[in-house]
Structure 1
Amino acid sequence: MNRTLYTLLFHLGLPLVALRLWLRARKAPAYRQRIGERFAFGLAPMQTGGIWVHAVSVGESIAAAPMIRALLARYPQLPITVTCMTPTGSERIKAMFAGEPRIQHCYLPYDLPWAAGRFLDHVRPVLGIIMETELWPNHINQCAKRGIPVVLANARLSERSARGYGKFAGLTRPMLAQMSWIAVQTEAEAQRFRDLGARPECVAVTGSIKFDLSIDPQLLKDAAELRGQWQATQRPVWIAASTHAGEDESVLSAHRRLLASHPDALLILVPRHPERFASVHDLCVQQGFATVRRSSQQPVSAQTSVLLGDTMGELLFLYALADIAFVGGSLVPNGGHNLLEPAALAKPVLSGPHLFNFLEIAALLRNAGALAEVTDAASLSAAVQRLFDQPQQARTMADAGLQVMNANQGALQRLLDGIGRLVK
C-alpha cells in the first residue's frame, strides 16, 4: 500500500469514522463536541511560527508535559500548539497549562491531506514534535512539503508493532524517511526504525523521558495529610491503577481475598477510561464493597473498603496515597501502562504479565527487584498480602525502583538538545 491508496481508503472509510465517533459519544458525550476541529474547520485564531506538539491522549500528554515546560522556558518567544485526539487528553492538556498564554490547543485533524494542510497553514509551526509512535503519513508528508522538520520524541516501537508497520512498507518507508529526527528509547527500538526505512543518521537513542519525572514534595505532604484525615495512617492501602475492562473483577476478587487477612485494607481503584467510571462503581457496589467515589469529596471512613478514583489528573496523588501499586492494562493483553510513576513515588510495583508496550522498562525494574509480576486474582492478592506483611521487602522494592529512576535520567536533556538543532 502506498500513500495514495491509503488516502483513498481513508476517504472511503469516513462513514466508519463517523460511526466510531457516534459510538464513542454514547459513552463519552464529549466526542460529540468540536467535531469540526477533526477536519481542520472552525479552528480558533492562533499564534503562528511556534512549535507544534502532538500527544495522542492522556498518557502521552502527561509524558510530554516536562518537555513542553522546558520548551516554554528555552524559547520564550515561541508559542506552542499542543494537539491530541481524545476528550480526556484535551481536558488534561487544558488543566496542565491553564493560564499559560503561549500554550494553544486543538484536536489534531484526521490524516487527510487537505485537513492536515489546513491545520499546518493555520498554525504554521517551525517544528513538529510527535510523542511516542503516533505516526500519520499525510501529516508528515504535508510537513515535508512545507519544509517543517518533524521529530518523533520518546519514540517506542514494539516488535509486534514493527511487524505491523512492516506489512505496509510502501507506506511506512517513505514516511519514516521524511522524519527529521527520531529520538528512541532503546537501541532495539532504534534498529526496528532503521529496518523499517528511517534514515540511520536521523535515529538516536536518547532514553525514556518518563525517567525524568520529578515529584513535587508538596504532593507527598498532601497525601500524608489526607491519610491522616481518614485516620488511615496505619491502615494498609493499595492501588490498582489504569485498569481496563476485564481487570476490575480480578482486582476486586484479590481485594476480597486480602480482606480475610487484612480486614481494614483499603483499595484505591482507578479505571483507565472515564467512560467506565460509572460501570466500575456499580460493579463495586454490586459485589458488596462499601465504596466512595473520589469525585464526591466524601471522606473515607473506617468502613470504606474501596475508593474509586473517578477524577482526572490525580493519578500521581492517588499513587502517593497508597503503600503498594498495581499497574493495570497488564492482566489483560493491553500492553501495560507507565510503571515509572509509582516507582518515582517509592512504591513497590506490581503488574500483570502483558507488558509488551514497556518491555525494556519492565526488564529494568524486574532485574533491579523493583517489580513483581502476577497472573490472576489469587497471585495478586498473595503479592499484596506479602508486601503488607513484610514491610522491609516492600521498602527494598521501593528503594530499588528509585535507584532505577535515578540511574536512567537525562533523556529529557538529550531530547531538548536534539530539538534545539532543528529550531530555526
Structure 2
Amino acid sequence: MSERWARAVLSSYRMAGSLAFPVIGAYVAWRSSRGKEDHARRRERYGLAGRPRPDGPLIWVHAASVGETIAVVPLVESILGYGMHVIVTTGTVTSAKVAEERLGDRIIHQYVPLDLKPAVSRFLDHWQPDLAIIAESEIWPMTILELGSRRVPQVLVNGRLSDRSFKSWRKRPYLAEALFENLAHVIAQSELDGERFAALGARPVTVSGNLKVDTGPPPADPKALEALRIQIGRRPTWAAVSTHDGEETVAAQVHSMLSARHPGLLTIIVPRHPERAEALLAEFSALGLNVARRSVGDKVTAQTDILLGDTIGEMGLYLRLTEIAFVGRSLTSDGGQNPIEPAMLETAVLAGRNVQNFRDSYQRLIENGGAKLVRDRDMLAGAVNFLMVNDAARHRMMAAGMRTVTEMRGALGKTLKALEPFIQPLIVKSRLNGTNGR
C-alpha cells in the first residue's frame, strides 16, 4: 500500500509539473526582475541548451549554489584531468559566476533546468549525460526519476542531510526509498550523514569527509586587500560573516558595547544576502554608526564604525582583515553556515548554538579548540572582548582551526576512489573513440 502511495505521489508530481510548465514563465520572469535569474540565459531553465553537445562521453555535475559550487571545483578539475567533457549546472546567478571564475571555458556551464518533466526531458535529450554527479543535498524528484528511467548512473557527492530534512524524509519512508533507490552511490560528508542516507534506502553509501576542506582558502584580490589594510591600519577588528536577519543587529550592538573598551574598533559585517544592504545601512545609521559600503567603493576612514561587506565572492578578502569571525545563521536562524573558510584562514571562529547543518565541522573545531559557541548577544560580546585582549588565547584558537582543517583533508581522494567504477569506463570509451576532451 505504501509503495503504491509513493508511486502515486511521484506520478502526481510529474503530472503537476507538466500542467504548470506552460505558465511557469511568469515565475521565472519575476525571479529575473529581482536579479535571481540571468535574464539573457533564462531559456536554459526550461531545458533549452545554450550550445551544442560535444562528441564523446559527457559527465554532468550539478551544484546548486555558491557553497556547493566551490566544494566541487577540485573534483571537476580532477575529472577534466582525465580528459573528460564536463557540463556543470548551477541554480543561482552567483554560483554561475563562481563556476566561470574558477573553471572558465574548460567546462560547459548551463543553468539547471526546472524540476518539471518537460524541462528535464529537454535537457537530457540534448546533453545525454553518461554520468550525473549531484552535490550535497540536491534531491529533485523529477530529475532523479528521469535519469533513472534512462539508466544514467547518479552519484550524490559530499552528501549531507540536515536534521530537518532527515526528519521530513523519515515521515515518508516509501517516498524516500522510491527516490534514493535511483542513486547508484551516495558519498556522504560524515558518518551521521551516511547513516541517515542508508536509513532512507540509499545503497551503497560511503563516507568521504567534506569536499569543501580540500578546496583551499577563498581567494582575495591582492590590490583590494592591500588598499583596505592601509585604510584600516592598526585598528582592532572583528567580523560577523554569512549573517542572517537579526544577526547584523546583534553585531552592531556588540560593536557599540565594545567600542569604548577598544578605541578605533572596526566591525566587519558580511550579510549572507547582500541585497539587504540598503535596509542594514538605514538600521546602522539610525543607531548612530558610521558605515562604509564595499559595493559602492566607500573608503574606511577613522570615523568608520562598520565595514558592510555587501558584495559577492569576496569572503576571502573580508576574512583576511581580521583574526576573529562570528559565523552566522546560528543565533537568530537555524542550521548555521560553514565554518571551514574562516578556519582555513587561521581565524578564531565564534558561532551561535544552532549549527546542526555543519555539526561534524563544528564538533571537530570545538574539540580542538578552534571554535566556541555562544548563547546570545552578551556572550558573543564577551567572547569577542576576551579574544581581543588575550593574544595568546586568540592565537591558540587560530592555530587550532588551521590544524583541524589539515586533519579533515582527504575527502577529494576518497570521492575520486568511489567514483572510479563510473568514470573509468568512460575514460576508456573516450580514448577508444578518439573523443578525448583535452
Contact 1:131–1:154, Cα closer than 8 Å, also in 2 = yes
Identity fraction in percent: 36
Q: Does 1:69 align with 2:71?
A: no
The structure-2 alpha-carbon separation of the partners of 1:382 and 1:223, relative to structure 1 and needing over 3 Å to count, comes to: farther
What are the within-5 Å matches in structure 2 for residues 400-419 of structure 1?
A: 400-419=400-419
User: What is aligned with 1:109?
Assistant: 113
User: What is aligned with 1:45?
Assistant: 52
Cα distance between partner residues in 1 of 2:97 and 2:155: 24
What are the within-5 Å matches in structure 2 for residues 307-322 of structure 1?
A: 307-322=307-322
Cα distance between partner residues in 2 of 1:41 and 1:67: 26
Cα deviations by residue, 1:103-162 (Å, 9 ceiling, x for unpaired): 111211122223212112222222111110101122122222223211101001133311
Q: Does 1:57 align with 2:65?
A: yes
Q: When the two structures are superposed, what TM-score results if normalisation uses the length of structure 1?
A: 0.91
User: What is aligned with 1:85?
Assistant: 91
Cα distance between partner residues in 1 of 2:23 and 2:228: 47
What code does the residue aligned with 1:252 have? A
What code does the residue aligned with 2:345 have? L
The structure-2 alpha-carbon separation of the partners of 1:398 and 1:227, relative to structure 1 and needing over 3 Å to count, comes to: same
The structure-2 alpha-carbon separation of the partners of 1:130 and 1:29, relative to structure 1 and needing over 3 Å to count, comes to: closer
Q: Does 1:133 align with 2:148?
A: no
What code does the residue aligned with 1:376 have? D
Cα distance between partner residues in 2 of 1:334 and 1:14: 33
The structure-2 alpha-carbon separation of the partners of 1:308 and 1:145, relative to structure 1 and needing over 3 Å to count, comes to: same
User: What is aligned with 1:230?
Assistant: 231
Cα distance between partner residues in 1 of 2:369 and 2:24: 44
What code does the residue aligned with 1:230 have? Q
Cα distance between partner residues in 2 of 1:272 and 1:396: 28
Q: Does 1:392 align with 2:392?
A: yes
Contact 2:258–2:381, Cα closer than 8 Å, also in 1 = yes
- For the aligned residue pairs, the C-alpha RMSD in angstroms reads 2.4
Between 34-43 and 397-406, report the one with greater CA deviation.
34-43
How far 1:21 sits from its partner (Å)?
4.6
Structure 2, unpaired ranges of 5+? 1-5, 427-438
User: What is aligned with 2:267?
Assistant: 267
The structure-2 alpha-carbon separation of the partners of 1:299 and 1:6, relative to structure 1 and needing over 3 Å to count, comes to: same
User: What is aligned with 1:207?
Assistant: 209
Q: How many residues in Structure 1 have an aligned counterpart in Structure 2?
A: 416
How far 1:172 sits from its partner (Å)?
1.6
How far 1:65 sits from its partner (Å)?
1.7
The structure-2 alpha-carbon separation of the partners of 1:18 and 1:337, relative to structure 1 and needing over 3 Å to count, comes to: farther
What code does the residue aligned with 1:87 have? V
Contact 1:271–1:280, Cα closer than 8 Å, also in 2 = no
The structure-2 alpha-carbon separation of the partners of 1:316 and 1:329, relative to structure 1 and needing over 3 Å to count, comes to: same
SS in 1 for 2:61: strand
Q: Does 1:159 align with 2:167?
A: no
Question: Which of 195, 200, 203 is the aligned partner of 1:196?
Answer: 200
Q: When the two structures are superposed, what TM-score results if normalisation uses the length of structure 2?
A: 0.88
Contact 1:183–1:204, Cα closer than 8 Å, also in 2 = yes
User: What is aligned with 2:11?
Assistant: 4
Question: Which of 173, 179, 192 is the aligned partner of 1:175?
Answer: 179
Cα deviations by residue, 1:149-202 (Å, 9 ceiling, x for unpaired): 111010011333112112233332022111111111112211111111112xx2
Cα distance between partner residues in 2 of 1:50 and 1:414: 22
Q: Does 1:34 align with 2:41?
A: yes
How far 1:91 sits from its partner (Å)?
2.3
Contact 2:70–2:212, Cα closer than 8 Å, also in 1 = no
What code does the residue aligned with 1:235 have? R
Structure 1, unpaired ranges of 5+? none
Contact 1:239–1:324, Cα closer than 8 Å, also in 2 = yes
SS in 2 for 1:81: strand
Contact 2:28–2:42, Cα closer than 8 Å, also in 1 = no
